[in-house]
Amino acid sequence: MDAYKKAGVDINAGYKLVDEIKKLSHNDALGAFGGMFPLALGQYKKPVLVSGTDGVGTKLLVAIQAGLHETIGIDLVAMCVNDVLAQGAKPLFFLDYLGIGHLDQTQAKEILTGVVNGVSQAGAKLVGGETAEMPDMYQHGHYDLAGFTVGIADQDKLLKTTDLQAGDVLLGLASNGLHSNGFSLVRDILFKQHHYSLDDRLPGCKLDLKHELLRPTRIYVKSVLPLIDQGLIQSIAHITGGGLIENVGRILPADLNAEFDSTSWKMPAIMKKLQTIGQLSFEDMTNTFNLGLGMVLAVRPADKSQVMAELKKAGETVYQVGKLVTGSKKVVIREDAL
């Protein structure tokens, strides 16, 4: 072990980290060769497992530069579980991968505390993961994160594009800022083109840049899943890379368009400033950022009031943002309304 440590890998530090995560997650089974999850299938007539995997992208570089790692694990979980939710499935368990140049106990614990927090928000269970110390792969202080989740749904209750019809109402759930997308552009505008500091606070923004940019992605599972179970949701778009245009387009059948009235919700101040500072076009904004909507739900007009009331009761900020109309699989957002 001494020879391995001299080569840059501290196995004992890894063992200690596993013990810490066992305590944080209340799962003594962590550290086994495989994660286990008891699967109760009695309530499902035709059970289907739905899986998802994702990372956090270059938002990690902001966390590393700021030295703030407590929420980036929430982002990781959110990117995975919100995708599974968008299929109509309940996230069951989660695994993480942390690749790191040098295993700093404090830093790693902060990162994985966020993962545990996110898993708890999703009502799921952390069943395992991997921490790989690779000094020749990552420079000191740098790391990468990836996550994997599995959910379950009844086959007949999976959300399908074929269930959508003209007249369906689009409801938008407010995002918590940028979430985890567009950060290569964000960093280019703020730090390469204009040389802002992470301690700067942009006019109109409540927080300095390091805290504004690191707002964790919202996890919508506990708010939205009960509505799916009640059959009140027809389809869901999780607004990630590609913004509203690409992600809402993914749920549309060939004969429908989605029309958005962008005066019906508030775009976060950080996005407005990025548009101004970076001189971004309307197309840049709609194809890159969530514009303040982390998730878009399609519901029947008759169910709109009940769905909005239950979402607000669950703590969500929800807007009626548009509707589905006869068309050709296009997402239309009026430019003059932003």
pLDDT tens, position by position, 33-45: 788 888 888 888 9
pLDDT, tens digit, 9 for 90 and up, residues 279-328? 999 899 999 999 999 999 999 999 999 999 999 999 999 999 999 999 99
Tell me how far the alpha carbon of residue 98 is from its chain's centroid. Answer: 17
Query: What does the block give as tokens for 307?
Result: 């769905």
**Would you say 99 and 144 are in contact if contact means Cβ atoms under 8 Å apart?**
yes
Distances (CA, A) of 135 to 64, 105, 109, 246: 16, 15, 18, 37
HEC sequence for 292-316? CEEEEEEECHHHHHHHHHHHHHCCC
pLDDT at 178: 98
What span, in angstroms and rounded, lies between the C-alpha atoms of 285 and 274? 9
What span, in angstroms and rounded, lies between the C-alpha atoms of 170 and 167? 9
At residue 338, does pLDDT exceed 50? no
Mean pLDDT of the chain: 93
Q: In terms of pTM, does the model score above 0.85? A: yes
pLDDT at 189: 98
Query: What does the block give as tokens for 152?
Result: 């379950």
Q: Which of 249, 58, 276 is nearest to 284 (CA)?
A: 276
Q: Which of 223, 235, 228 is nearest to 299 (CA)?
A: 235
The structural domains of the chain, ordered by start, are 2-34+43-157 (3.30.1330.10), 161-337 (3.90.650.10)
What span, in angstroms and rounded, lies between the C-alpha atoms of 338 and 97? 39
Share of the chain above pLDDT 90, in %: 83
Q: Provide the 10 A C-beta neighbour count for residue 20.
A: 15
At residue 21, does pLDDT exceed 70? no
pLDDT, tens digit, 9 for 90 and up, residues 98-148? 999 999 999 999 999 999 999 999 999 999 999 999 998 999 899 999 999
